[in-house]
């Protein structure tokens, strides 16, 4: 069942989204060669708590950390570890907060130092596909319109759209209806209505889009070990169009 949020609920989620966005910006600053993903997790948790929010991921389905840190071929849900980031890596930072009982969710993928041109293009294309998907998140369209737009752009750039994972509704629970695939047909799926709050999160591979379990046994990685990228925002559907709550 899709939950329609009141303006007051959306305002609370927006406040949480501001906290989340500011924490991720700080993590981007300290994600340099030599830092471990476990250190990033500890920094994320400290920043969230100091801002008066709670980590949204810690304890969710048994996940023991506050941050999902997915390096290189790892797509999402990567366990923070003692792995020290090195020049040329890319790392997906996926983070959630709970503020006044409501969840927000956001992800970025960043380059560590200098990366090859094609790797940078992967990040740029994935980030742009999120912007294009958000533009389709308006009253009168359908969930399929979002996925179709994301898919067509990514595939036109020669990359693969991850199909086994998707975006989602969000609110009191981290994952709510509806599911938001990054592929699909125009006009398909649920109609987009004012008051919906959703997470759009393109996940893109440089090679094949099929997945395997990550080596940590929890996350997901590309089956062919190709690099992958992931960007996400929490979006409110308003009469005036989509509003990004995580910025």
- 69 closest CA partner among 103, 104, 114, 24: 24
Q: What percentage of the chain's residues is helix, strand, coil (to nearest 5)?
A: 30, 30, 40
CB neighbour class for 191 (10 Å; exposed up to 12, middle 13-18, buried from 19) = middle
Q: What's the pTM value of the predicted model, to 2 decimals?
A: 0.97
Helix (H, G, I), strand (E, B) or coil at 9: helix
pLDDT of residue 93: 98
pLDDT digits over 86-142, tens only? Answer: 999 999 999 999 999 999 999 999 999 999 999 999 999 999 999 999 999 999 999
At residue 223, the pLDDT reads 97
Q: Closest by alpha carbon to 178, among 221, 129, 145? A: 145
Q: What is the pLDDT of residues 152-191, one digit of tens each?
A: 999 999 999 999 999 999 999 999 999 999 999 999 999 9
Residue pair 129/150 in contact (Cβ under 8 Å)? The answer is yes
pLDDT confidence bin for 216, thresholds 50/70/90: confident
Confidence of residue 217 (pLDDT cuts 50, 70, 90): confident
CA angle 78, 36, 32 (to 5 degrees): 110
What one-character DSSP code corresponds to residue 180? E
234 contacts: CB under 8 Å, gap ≥ 6? 13, 17, 20, 104, 105, 106, 170, 197, 198, 199, 244, 245, 246
Q: What's the pLDDT score for residue 203?
A: 98
Residue-range domains of the chain with CATH: 7-244 (3.90.230.10)
List the beta strands (DSSP E) in the chain. Answer: 54-55, 67-71, 74-76, 90-99, 102-111, 160-161, 167-169, 176-180, 197-200, 203-205, 211-213, 220-222, 228-230, 233-238, 241-244
Ramachandran bin of 62, using left for φ above 0, alpha for ψ from -120 to 50, beta for the remaining angles: left
């Amino acid at each position: 069942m899709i939950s329609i949020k009141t303006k007051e609920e959306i305002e609370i989620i927006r406040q949480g989204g501001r906290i989340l966005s500011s924490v991720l910006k700080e993590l981007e600053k300290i994600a340099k060669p030599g830092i471990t993903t476990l250190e990033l997790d500890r920094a994320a948790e400290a920043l969230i708590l100091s801002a008066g929010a709670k980590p949204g991921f810690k304890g969710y389905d048994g996940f023991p950390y506050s941050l999902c840190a997915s390096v290189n071929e790892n797509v999402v849900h990567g366990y923070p570890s003692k792995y020290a980031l090195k020049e040329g890596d890319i790392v997906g930072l996926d983070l959630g907060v709970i503020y006044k009982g409501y969840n927000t969710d956001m992800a970025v993928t960043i380059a560590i130092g200098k990366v090859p041109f094609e790797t940078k293009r992967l990040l740029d294309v994935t980030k742009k596909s999120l912007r294009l998907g958000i533009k389709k998140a308006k009253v009168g369209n359908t969930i399929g319109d979002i996925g179709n737009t994301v898919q067509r752009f990514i595939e036109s750039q020669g990359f693969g759209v991850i199909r086994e994972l998707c975006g989602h509704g969000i609110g009191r629970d981290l994952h709510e209806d509806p599911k938001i695939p990054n592929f699909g047909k125009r006009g398909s799926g649920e109609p987009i209505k004012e008051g919906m709050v959703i997470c759009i999160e393109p996940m893109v591979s440089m090679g094949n889009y099929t997945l395997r379990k990550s080596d940590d046994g929890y996350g997901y990685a590309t089956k062919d070990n190709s690099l992958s990228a992931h960007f996400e925002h929490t979006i409110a559907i308003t009469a005036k169009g989509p509003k990004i709550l995580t910025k």
